[in-house]
Structure 1
Amino acid sequence: MKKIILSAAILLGSLTTMNAQDQAQNATPAEQTASATQEFTEVKTEDLPTAVTEALKKSYPDAVLAKAYVNEKKEYKLEITVKDQSATVFTDVDGNWLKK
């Protein structure tokens, strides 16, 4: 009897885990990135600190800056285009590149 109850508990636990994984995989991209975009607010590209624009010119000389965002920590999210490819890069107020 104990083996049957234990087997049922293990089976139900594994099904719950599998269901949670399926729901995470089926989430739309907007739901997955909502938390990342909510913390940043858009700023004008002209209002970026000089250190940020200089770092962008130095590291990505052919890049075209499309949009810029800033968060409370003064970290900048830059949406750039280099040739035919778009990318998002992050930097701090001093122009140091961040990994996100």
Structure 2
Amino acid sequence: MKKLLVSTAIVLGSLTVNAATAPVIKTSVNQSVTIQDEFTEVSADAVPAAVKSTVEKSFPGTKLEKAYVNEKKEYKLEISKGDKKYTVFTDAAGNIIKK
């Protein structure tokens, strides 16, 4: 009987030791930084005709709300259709840029 009690105590003791050592969870954090070019607001008249033409062809029925330009002569255009607003990026030749 004594051996049974001692054996039970050893088994239970070893189980608690295994439960006490929790697995190590390794987490990693990735940070990403997006650097945007500085855009300055320009009037709709300052937007090249090629850019306006591309917007009219690609997004029919939209209205040009605001236009911005950066040092690379890339245009950020805020357009709207009804109550929906969109942002489109183009170069000076009117080619749409994905950003």
Letter in 2 for 1:54: S
User: After superposition, what is the alpha-carbon deviation per residue over 1:41-74, rounded to whole angstroms, capped at 9, x for unaligned?
Assistant: 1000111111001111111121111100001111
Aligned partners of 1:62 and 1:83 also within 8 Å: no
Identity percentage of aligned residues: 50
Rg larger for: 2
> TM-score if structure 1 supplies the norm length?
0.64
After TM superposition, the runs of 4+ consecutive aligned structure 1 residues lying more than 2 A away are none
Aligned partners of 1:41 and 1:71 also within 8 Å: yes
Q: Once the 2 structures are TM-superposed, how far is the Cα of residue 83 of structure 1 from its aligned partner?
A: 2.0
Letter in 2 for 1:48: V
Q: Secondary structure at the match of 1:52?
A: helix
Letter in 2 for 1:60: F
The residue aligned with 2:3 is none
> TM-score if structure 2 supplies the norm length?
0.64
Q: Which runs of 5+ in 2 are unaligned?
A: 1-23
C-alpha separation between the residues in 1 aligned to 2:84 and 2:93? 26
Q: Does 1:54 align with 2:18?
A: no
The residue aligned with 1:79 is 78
Letter in 2 for 1:51: A
Letter in 2 for 1:95: G
Q: Which runs of 5+ in 1 are unaligned?
A: 1-9, 25-31
In the comparison of the two structures, how many residue pairs are matched? 76
User: After superposition, what is the alpha-carbon deviation per residue over 1:26-49, rounded to whole angstroms, capped at 9, x for unaligned?
Assistant: xxxxxx98x53x610100011111
Mapping 1:5-84, distance limit 5 Å = 14=27, 17=28, 36=36, 39-84=38-83
